[in-house]
Chains A and B, each alone.
Chain A
Amino acid sequence: MPFVLTAVGAALAVALELFEAMAIVLAVALSRRPSAALAGAGAATLACAALAVVVGPVLVAQVAGDALRVVVGIALLLFGMEWLRKGVLRLAGRRARSDSYAEFLAEREALAEEEPPAAGRFDWPGFVVAFKGVLLEGVEVILIVTVLAARPGGLAPALVGGAAAVVLVIGLGLLLHRPLRRLPESELKYVVGLVLTTFGTFFCAEGLGVDWPLGDAGLLVVLAVWLVISQAMVRALSAAPPRARSRRVVA
């Protein structure tokens, strides 16, 4: 059970972040120069790889045993509950839905308004846009996969899920040359929030000396509680007066 949940959580988190990064890279490639987009994305990927090499071993080597579980649990809670909070707000209509295709169109529009790259010169503005987009999404990917992998038995499923997502997203990008239009990103991000929050709760409690009565199956109980609570919040926030709702919509 933990293997599947970890793999699914890592795969979804990586895929969703990479979809956002891909939208920016494709926008640069189609609006300016593919070479600048690829160079920016490649440089950011190298930076993320360097971060992964530094963060992972340091986290595991410096913190051991129960302390590691608490640290990993809190990190998962910080990421998971934030994704879950945003997911609840999106599903309740209090926040704009997540849409990589709309970001792709907006980025293309913004890039089209800028001065085109001079002939024979490297397109540095395009490079910077692609680099920044991939770096910001990539750092979040590295942090999430690292904390999922740092818990006991988490390395293999986190890497399997993450690698599958990388292959899927890059394959789709090469095949379609545009982000997917009908991907239910808001719902998928909500699911990632549920999974990360469940793991965070579970491991933080274990680090504090708890033996869950059902063992690993206790993950399902925790998941069910977060599902019920978050759905109740979606309903409660959806039912709020329209005036209060419109005031709080965030892009």
Chain B
Amino acid sequence: MLRTLRKLVLGETWSLPIGIAVAVVIAVAVRAVAGAGGWWQHGGGYVLLALLVVAFVAALRFPR
């Protein structure tokens, strides 16, 4: 039951949810360094997008 629930929420691999978590944590860290009102306000979305793309490609290349 727990296994089914995990697959339902997190998916079939660990690499993808871990990749998403790492991408969001890095984005939060970059925002903290850049400052909420600086370049992050207009460019931060693309930083997060790039991080998520890396996580996605990694999950496809290294499915675990």
Q: Report A's interface with B, CB cutoff 8 A.
A: 70, 74, 77-78, 81-82, 84-86, 88-89, 136, 139-140, 143, 197, 201-202, 204-206, 208-213, 218, 222, 225-226, 229-230, 233, 237, 248
* CB-CB under 8 A for A201 and B49, given A78-B11, A208-B31: yes
A209 touches B24 (CB 8 A): no
Pick the residue among B17, B24, B45, B53 that contacts A210 (CB under 8 A): B45
Within 8 Å by CB of B60, from A143, A205, A208, A237, lies A237
Q: Are B20 and A77 in contact (CB under 8 A)?
A: yes
Interface string of B25-64 (1 = CB under 8 A from A): 0011001000010001110110011001101110110010
Q: Are B8 and A210 in contact (CB under 8 A)?
A: no
Interface status of B9 (Cβ within 8 A of chain A): yes
Question: How many contacts between A and B, using CB within 8 angstroms?
Answer: 87
**Residue in A74, A136, A202, A229 whose CB lies within 8 Å of B24:** A74
Pick from B4, B20, B49, B56: contact of A222, CB under 8 Å: B49
Chain B: number of interface residues, binned into ranges: 20 to 34
List chain A residues, Cβ under 8 A from B4: 136
Q: How far is the CA of A146 from the CA of B23 in the complex (A)?
A: 24
- Do A225 and B53 have beta carbons less than 8 Å apart? yes
Task: Report how far A197 CA is from B28 CA in the complex, Å.
Answer: 19
Please tell me if the beta carbons of B11 and A88 are within 8 angstroms of each other in the complex. Answer: no
**What 9 pairs across the A-B complex have the smallest Cβ distances?**
A82-B11, A205-B45, A210-B45, A210-B44, A209-B36, A205-B48, A77-B20, A229-B53, A211-B41
Question: Nearest chain-A residue to B31 (Cβ)?
Answer: A208
A-side binding surface: helix, strand, loop or mixed? helix
- List A contacts of B13 (CB < 8 A): 85
B28 touches A85 (CB 8 A): no
With A77-B52, A81-B56 known as contacts, the answer to whether A140 contacts B41 (CB < 8 A) is: no
Q: Are A74 and B8 in contact (CB under 8 A)?
A: no
Q: Are B57 and A210 in contact (CB under 8 A)?
A: no
Q: Taking A85-B16, A136-B8, A143-B9 as contacts, is the C-beta distance between A205 and B57 under 8 angstroms? A: no
Chain B residues within 8 Å of A82, by CB: 11-12, 16
B60 touches A204 (CB 8 A): no
Extra contacts, 7 of them, besides A70-B24, A81-B59, A201-B49 (Cβ < 8 A), are A78-B11, A81-B11, A201-B48, A208-B27, A210-B48, A213-B42, A233-B60
Within the complex, the shortest CB–CB distance from B35 to chain A, in Å, comes to 10
CB of B10 within 8 Å of the partner chain: yes
Bound CA–CA A81/B48 (angstroms)? 14
